Structure 1
Amino acid sequence: MYKAFFGFREKPFSKTPDPRFLFLSAGHEEALARLEFVLEEREIAVLTGEIGCGKTTLSRALMDRLGDGYRFCYIVNPRLTGLEFLRTTARLLDIEAPAALKDELLEQINRVVYDSYQRGICPVIVVDEAQMISDAEVFDEIRLLTNFQLDDRNLLAVIVMGQPELRPMLASSRFEPLRQRIALNYHLEPLTLEETMEYLDFRLEKAGGMPGLFTPDAVQKIFEITGGVPRKINSIATNALLVAYGNDAALIDSTVIDEIKDELMM
């Protein structure tokens, strides 16, 4: 459909977290650099941001950047008990039969983590949607994962990602021991107006198209509607491309955005 019309090799505004399409705003670039440092130090990092701000895409880009010396293990549904969290972690580390008893389970994980260290690999446990954690014991287990260590270094790293409500959750006095072990606490902000224009052009070019397809007045409208959240930008930009294609329009201006905004806001 519109791909051939606009000269794209692929869809420019897919919602999948493809690191090739990660636009490094000032905030995203800083977050990526800080996360890379924390993982090199094998510490705990907390990354928060609004839904659709690019947290997951950022973690995928980090995985690509760090290469073979790291093994990323994603826990995408953290609604677990403490023991379930450890058993899930064990399975992600390729422990085929996680023990039923906690002390035996921790010993299994310790053996695998130490074996990874001997092979020059650092496991990275990524806990996504951490604001959904309902059992406080899970946060205790996240903290205690950093007990897998030698005299001079930890043997694994942890990234805890979530929506803004994760921040007040962790501010509770209940989690003071965990906070003391967090090496990075970074909040990912939405894009600015200028970054929104750069983001649109970046993804257009990455898909094989030309920059400038969205006029400045269209970008202004998109920014006002989306608040600079990349996932929302992707949605409205895709719909705008479809409308422009249907109208045989070479440019997308604010009238196109006006045509679709009510439907999108529903």
Structure 2
Amino acid sequence: MYKTYFGFREKPFSKTPDPRFLFLSKGHEEALARLEFVVEERDIAVLTGEIGCGKTTISRALMDRLGETYRFCYIVNPRLNGIEFLRTIARLLEVVEPASTKDDLLEQINVVVYDSYQRGICPVIVVDEAQMITDAEVFDEIRLLTNFQLDDRNLLAIIVMGQPELRDMLASPRYEPLCQRVALQYHLHPLSLDETMEYLDFRLEVAGGSAGLFTPDAVQKIYELTGGVPRRINSMATNALLVAYGCDAALIDSTIVDEIKDEMMM
């Protein structure tokens, strides 16, 4: 449909977290570099940002950048109690039959983690949507995972990602023991106006198209309506492409964005 019309090889504004489409704004580049350092040091990092700012995409790009010596294990639904959380980690680490008691679970995880170390592999536990954690014990287990260590190094790394309210949660005195072990806390901000234009052009080119398809007045309007949040930009840009295709437009200007804004705001 519009892919052929605009000469794209693939959809430029897909919702999937494809690292090839990661636009490295100043903030995204800094977040990626800091996370890389923390993982290499096998510490704990906390990454926060608004919904759709690119946290998950950054974690996938980090996985690609670090290569096969790091094994990323994603927990995407952390609404678990402490035992369920540990059992999930055990399954992600390919423990065949996770135990039902905490002591046995920790021993199983310890065996796998140490075996990974001997094979030159560092497990990286990524807890996504961590603001959804309702059982405080889960945060205790995250902290205690750092006890898997040798005299001179930790045996795994942990990345905790969530929306801005996660920062408020961790500010509670209840989680001070965890915060003392966190090596990095970084907040990912939305894109600026200039970065929004660069972001649109970047994704168009990665998809096989040409920069400049969105006129400056369209970019201004998109920025105002989306607040610079990449996921919102993707949604609005996709709908703008569909409208432009439907009316045989060569460029997307503010008139086309105005045509879709009411529907998008709903």
- For Structure 1 versus Structure 2, the TM-score category normalised by the shorter chain is over 0.9
Match of 1:195 in 2: 195
CA–CA distance in structure 1, aligned partners of residues 80 and 225 of structure 2: 36
Match of 2:108 in 1: 108
Match of 1:249 in 2: 249
Which amino acid is 1:214 matched to? Answer: F
Match of 1:40 in 2: 40
Query: Superposed, which structure 2 residues align to 1:1-266 within 5 Å?
Result: 1-266=1-266
Q: CA deviation at 1:200?
A: 0.1
CA–CA distance in structure 1, aligned partners of residues 101 and 16 of structure 2: 38
Q: How many equivalent residue pairs?
A: 266
List alignment gaps of at least 5 residues for structure 2.
Answer: none
Moved over 2 A (4+): none
CA–CA distance in structure 1, aligned partners of residues 265 and 103 of structure 2: 51
Q: CA deviation at 1:136?
A: 0.1
Question: TM-score normalised to the size of structure 2?
Answer: 1.00
CA–CA distance in structure 1, aligned partners of residues 98 and 252 of structure 2: 55
List alignment gaps of at least 5 residues for structure 1.
Answer: none
Q: CA deviation at 1:96?
A: 1.1
Q: CA deviation at 1:86?
A: 0.3
CA–CA distance in structure 2, aligned partners of residues 87 and 242 of structure 1: 45
Which amino acid is 2:220 matched to? Answer: Q
Deviation sequence 1:127-154 (CA, Å, 0-9, x none)? 0000000000000000000000000000
Which amino acid is 1:205 matched to? Answer: E
CA–CA distance in structure 1, aligned partners of residues 19 and 209 of structure 2: 18
CA–CA distance in structure 2, aligned partners of residues 104 and 256 of structure 1: 60
CA–CA distance in structure 2, aligned partners of residues 82 and 112 of structure 1: 19
Q: CA deviation at 1:229?
A: 0.2
CA–CA distance in structure 2, aligned partners of residues 129 and 49 of structure 1: 10
SS in 1 for 2:249: coil
Q: CA deviation at 1:244?
A: 0.3
SS in 1 for 2:147: coil
CA–CA distance in structure 2, aligned partners of residues 194 and 38 of structure 1: 30
CA–CA distance in structure 2, aligned partners of residues 101 and 167 of structure 1: 31
Which amino acid is 1:235 matched to? Answer: S
* Percent identity over paired residues: 85
Q: CA deviation at 1:101?
A: 1.2
CA–CA distance in structure 2, aligned partners of residues 5 and 134 of structure 1: 48
Question: TM-score normalised to the size of structure 1?
Answer: 1.00
CA–CA distance in structure 1, aligned partners of residues 54 and 199 of structure 2: 12
CA–CA distance in structure 2, aligned partners of residues 236 and 175 of structure 1: 39
Q: CA deviation at 1:238?
A: 0.2
Deviation sequence 1:163-192 (CA, Å, 0-9, x none)? 000001000000000000000000000000
CA–CA distance in structure 2, aligned partners of residues 123 and 257 of structure 1: 45
Structural RMSD (CA): 0.3
